[in-house]
Structure 1
Amino acid sequence: MSLKTFFKNLGPGSIIAAAFIGPGTVTVCTLAGVNFGFALLWALGLSIIATVILQEISGRLGLVTGQDLSQLIRNQTGKPLFRVFSMILVLIAIGLGNAAYESGNISGTNLGLQVFWDAPIINVASFEIQTGNLILGLFAFAILWLGNYKALERILVALVIFMSIAFSVTAILTKPDWSAVFSGFIPSWNDANLPTLVALIGTTVVPYNLFLYASLAKNRWSGSEDIVWMRRDIAISIILGGLVSMAILMVGAANTSSEIKSAIDVSKGLEGVFGSFAKYLMGFGLMAAGLTSSITAPLAAGLVICGILGWSQEIQSRSMRASMGVIVGLGLLFASLGIKPVQLITLAQLANGVLLPLISGWIIWVASQKETLGDYRNRLGYTFLAVLIWLVTLVLGLKSILAVLGITF
């Protein structure tokens, strides 16, 4: 097989990588490094494995059934009350969840923009309208309005490649203690780093990406005979994306800032390595990361909303444009409530870690049903591994909820 054939048959996995390498990834991984050094690298390693397995299941469901996950929920037979409940749950979880996630994406992009230009703030009643957020939100929506899937893929791939190179080179230039780096892959946690641990998993294993990849995969390949290409595509993309997340954490571990609230605070802690150039590198990195996720979050939500309601999922259809517009609009609203951007981004990632067990548990169950996938259903060993991953995410999610309530066990 030639290299040309290999790349020609790869698919939309790069879009999934672009989706989870957002400002949340940059912020949460940086804070993990700043606060805990390399100790939570193992959590990112677990996240990579979990993401590859869960995204493979979603892609396989899309290829074999010819439907994405939202369509599968809508078209499931039997137990109508369970079907309606599932549809409502997904609409609320993905719709509102992605709107909150979009607010973090837009805020994170604006953090990067502030390095180059501090956009003015307009006060209207009790709201603070940050013109930077408004401009960036409208720009992301304009790309979605005018684009197509192929054009979007090219834009996102270009941004992800640049980010990958920038953060990987940055990590190497910090000259980390490699023995300490490798020791970070030994699992350990405590009450202090638990919220960060959950957020790290949430920033990589993003629930809406499961819906997004099933939809993109069924449109990219012709059917079950292309499962092998789908598996290569998602494995390569997620592993490379995960390595970028690890590089960001390593950069955070080298950071000497006492407090991080913005990209400028992050860059100040790196000036010993890069000098004044650090703030421009971090600023552009956050802008690129934010734009990729600002595009993919409304796209995924639009696909889910239209799939659940039986509307057209063509990106230039009225239904898709309206759905994506609602998500971007809510994201802009949430971003204007005066919440500190770093807090907003971190909370969005924590919420993803809590939502994940619900969605991942459902796709694992569906993929084990012979009536759904036939000979392509999950085998016993694969289901066992997937359930183990689900149990880990469930325990972490429950512990994060109890931690918020002040309950420990």
Structure 2
Amino acid sequence: MGYEGRPWRFSRGTHEEASLGPLNGSVPVRDTGSWLRRLMGFIGPGYMVSVGYMDPGNWATDIAGGSQFGYTLLSVILLSNLMAIVLQALAARLGIATGRDLAQACRDHYSRPVGIVLWLACEAAIIACDLAEVIGTAIALKLLFGIPLVVGATLTALDVFLILLLMRRGFRALEAFVIALLAIIFISFVIQIALAAPPIQAVLGGFIPTTEIVTNPAALYIAIGIIGATVMPHNLYLHSSIVQTRAYPRTEEGRRSAIHFAVADSTIALMLALFVNAAILIMAASVFHANGRSDVAEIETAYELLSPLLGAGIASTLFAVALLASGLNSTVTATLAGQIVMEGFLRLRIPDWARRLLTRALAIMPVVGVTALYGEQGTAKLLVLSQVVLSMQLPFAVIPLVSFVSDRGKMGNLVIPRWLKAVSWGIATLIVALNGKLLFDTVLGP
């Protein structure tokens, strides 16, 4: 399957079903009209992808980074967000140009054993992501309603019914739900930043990289956690599929135009994610680090200290409401990503509710076990660890993606230009190097 006159070159010549089945090409878009009117038809997938860039895992790493190192790691958030913009643009290009999502492309291109390894790595990333969502949602339920953490974690399994209800109403309903919750998160942090009133000069200085990030093992650990929480491997599979829900003409000209609007959609949405991630770290730096509380690394501790240190009772409530919105939102995209990965790699179709319950059960069990054995402090450490695990899975998604979009035999005239190819491989190299440094410090370091 490919655009007119240039089919994708299959390695085994097999027929491929459209990604997401009946949802593929189900959302109408405009062929004519102003640029803004045409863009509106493509708005949605970028915001669904951006959810993964501001999920509860980001909160843990951003709070820990801000409280321990002040504004220093803002440069890491900026770098990881720029990397995310490039990588998500590549994922959208792959899906639109070839009519295949990243999982389908990997299964077709690589041998069966390699494909299985890539599938297992991606499943591990989805479970790690879901782990963060379970912990974040459970903590939010405890903070807002006093529900015990173990009970809250178990209750998160009920979100499967929310997913099924939204899916039955069509893909636009799913996107509207996601965007509404994103608006709640955004407004909550606008208010919190206004209350914190951080020093502008210090904030701007934090966006300039320093050597401490690499030389300090503690800072590097959190920095890689931030990258893992920001650039999420399953989002690359997700984006390459959901951009195909638009009913753009399946011609070279139609696909070229669709790529243009899809990249604009994801870039705008990821700038929102940059604001939210930066806002969390800035809040932690200006409220906790500035007051000598560099030990704040847990979401619950941050919730308890926010209102007293800011002198505003609403601060902690807004924080918990945004956390709950973040956790609920992330469940939607994780469900879709799991479906896309399983169908793409294995051609295995199972009911959505069964897939969701399986993934969620694998995430709930570690949370309940760690909470029972080590208490809530252990859960907080598990949350940060999940983000480092995500980062370790990144090369398994990034390297195939960059390889495919750089291959003219697969992309035809929509292959990426040389300058973008150089940037993309530079990003892939940086990710591998940072992961290697982390492994060295963890296994062989002091």
- Give TM-score scaled by structure 2 length: 0.83
Partner of 1:377: 415
Match in the other structure for 2:366:
334
Listed as ranges, the matches of 1:273-288 within 5 Å are 273-288=310-325
Q: Deviations over 1:226-284 (max 9, x none)?
A: 11111111111111111211111101112334643654410233223243322211211
Is the counterpart of residue 131 in structure 1 residue 151 in structure 2? Answer: yes
Given that 1:24 and 1:104 are in contact with CA atoms closer than 8 Å, whether structure 2 keeps it comes out as yes
Q: Do the aligned partners of 2:119 and 2:341 also contact (CA within 8 Å) in 1?
A: yes
Pair 1:51-2:84 in alignment: yes
Matching residue within 164, 179, 183 for 2:205: 183
Alpha-carbon distance between aligned partners in 2 of 1:220 and 1:295, rounded to the nearest angstrom: 19
Q: Deviations 1:307-343 (Å, cap 9, x if unpaired)?
A: 111245xxxxx44443222111211222211253321
The 2-side partners of 1:290 and 1:383 are apart by 35
Residues 1:199 and 2:225 are matched in the alignment: yes
Letter in 1 for 2:156: L
Q: 1:357 to 1:2 in 2, by over 3 A?
A: closer
Q: 1:69 aligns with which of 102, 108, 111?
A: 102
Report deviation, 1:167. Answer: 1.1
1:126 aligns with none
Q: Which residue of 1 aligns with 2:29?
A: none
Give a deviation string over 1:190-218, Cα, whole Å, max 9, x none.
22300011011111110000000001011
Task: Tell me how large the CA RMSD over aligned residues is.
Answer: 1.9
Deviations 1:51-99 (A, max 9, x none): 11111111111011111111112222xxxxx421332122211213212
Deviation at 1:358, TM superposition (A): 2.5
1:255–1:86: structure 2 CA closer, same or farther, 3 Å change rule? farther
Q: What is the DSSP-based 3-state SS (H/G/I as helix, E as strand, rest coil) of the residue aligned with 2:209?
A: coil
In the aligned structure 1, how far is the partner of 2:106 from the partner of 2:407? 14
Tell me, in whole angstroms, the C-alpha distance in 2 between the residues paired with 1:375 and 1:3: 26
Query: Aligned residue for 2:120?
Result: 92
Is the contact made by 2:128 and 2:390 (CA closer than 8 Å) also made in structure 1? no
CA contact (8 A) 2:67 2:296 kept: no
SS at match of 2:111: helix
Q: Aligned residues, how many?
A: 389
- Would you say the 8 A contact 2:44–2:175 is kept in 1? no
Equivalent-residue separation in structure 1 for 2:221 and 2:205 (angstroms) = 21
Give the counterpart letter for 1:152 in structure 2.
L
TM-score, scaled relative to structure 1: 0.90
Match 2:272 to one of 240, 243, 249: 240
Q: How does 1:1-400 map to 2 (within 5 A)?
A: 1=34, 3-76=36-109, 82-120=110-148, 130-138=150-158, 140-148=159-167, 149-188=171-210, 189=213, 190-191=215-216, 192-222=218-248, 223=250, 224-225=255-256, 226-256=258-288, 257=293, 259-260=295-296, 262-271=298-307, 272-312=309-349, 318-339=350-371, 340-400=378-438
Q: What is the DSSP-based 3-state SS (H/G/I as helix, E as strand, rest coil) of the residue aligned with 1:176?
A: coil
Residue 12 of structure 1 aligns to which amino acid in structure 2?
A: P
Tell me, yes or no, if the aligned pair for 1:62 and 1:69 is still in contact at 8 Å. yes
User: Could you tell me which residue of structure 1 aligns to residue 7 of structure 2?
Assistant: none
- Specify the code of the residue in structure 1 equivalent to 2:266: I
User: Does structure 1 conserve the Cα–Cα contact (< 8 Å) formed by 2:67 and 2:295?
Assistant: no
For 1:207, the aligned partner's letter is P
- Residue-by-residue CA offset, 1:26-74 (whole Å, 9 max, x unaligned): 1211111111111011111111111111111111110111111111122
Residue 338 of structure 1: SS of its match in structure 2? helix
- Give the partner amino acid of 2:305: G
Give deviations 1:167-190, integer Å, cap 9, x for gaps: 133123211111111111111212
Displacement of 1:120: 4.3
* C-alpha contact 2:143 2:320 (8 A) present in aligned 1: yes
User: Contact 1:101/1:345 (CA < 8 Å) preserved in 2?
Assistant: no
Deviations 1:381-408 (A, max 9, x none): 1110111111111111111111211427
Q: Which runs of 5+ in 1 are unaligned?
A: 77-81, 122-129, 313-317
Offset at residue 9 of structure 1 (A): 3.2
Q: Determine if contact 1:306/1:319 at 8 Å carries over to the other structure.
A: no
The amino acid that maps onto 2:53 is F
Q: 1:150: Cα distance to partner?
A: 2.4
Q: Is the 8 A contact 2:122 2:393 kept in 1?
A: no
8 Å Cα contact 2:68/2:295 also seen in 1: no
Percent sequence identity over aligned pairs: 25
Counterpart pick for 2:441 among 378, 403, 409: 403
Alpha-carbon separation, structure 2, partners of 1:40 and 1:103: 24
* AA aligned opposite 2:172: K
Identify which range, 198-207 or 67-76, moves more after superposition.
67-76
Distance 2:396 2:60 in 1: 25
Q: Residue 128 of structure 2 contacts residue 387 of structure 2 at CA under 8 Å; is this kept in 1? A: no
Letter in 1 for 2:287: N
Deviation, 1:2, is: 6.5
Per-residue CA shift, 1:121-169, capped at 9, x if unaligned? 7xxxxxxxx211111222x211122322322211111111110121133
* Structure 1 residues 36 and 297: alpha-carbon distance in aligned structure 2, compared to 1, 3 A threshold: same
Report the alpha carbon displacement of residue 291 of structure 1 after superposing the two structures with TM.
Answer: 1.3
Report the AA paired with residue 119 of structure 2.
L
Question: Are the structure 2 counterparts of residues 2 and 230 from structure 1 closer, same or farther at C-alpha, using a change threshold of 3 Å?
Answer: closer
